[in-house]
Amino acid sequence: MNWDKTRDVITVAIIPALGWVMLTMSDITNLKARYDQQAAKLMEVEAELKAVNQRTQAMEVASAKIEAKLEALATQLTRIEQMLIGGP
């Protein structure tokens, strides 16, 4: 009789615990899969961000060159205006 009670207690305690362990393992597997997906997306976004930064730097260099050329043209235009007006 004593063994029957012990067996019942073990059954009542262990079966739910095993179920909980199995559910937890399943949840961990799902979380790991989601983590792996998010890590892959993060790598893609980082690569895209690096490409955007490179394009931005190239555009800044081109913009600086254009500004320098515009300044040179402005200086030449001022000289031409002075020549047409007859100034010094």
- Residue 82 · residue 88 · CB < 8 Å: yes
Given the structure tokens 């305690």, which residue do they identify?
Answer: 13
Instruction: Encode pLDDT of 75-88 as tens digits.
Output: 999 999 988 887 65
- Residue 21 · residue 14 · CB < 8 Å: no
Q: Does the pLDDT of residue 61 top 90, yes or no? A: yes
Q: What domain count does the chain have? A: 1
Token digits of residue 5: 């009670």
Q: Measure the CA–CA gap between 85 and 73, rounded to whole angstroms.
A: 18
Structural domain containing residue 9:
1-88
Give the model's pLDDT for residue 13: 84
Instruction: Encode pLDDT of 27-58 as tens digits.
Output: 999 999 999 999 999 999 999 999 999 999 99
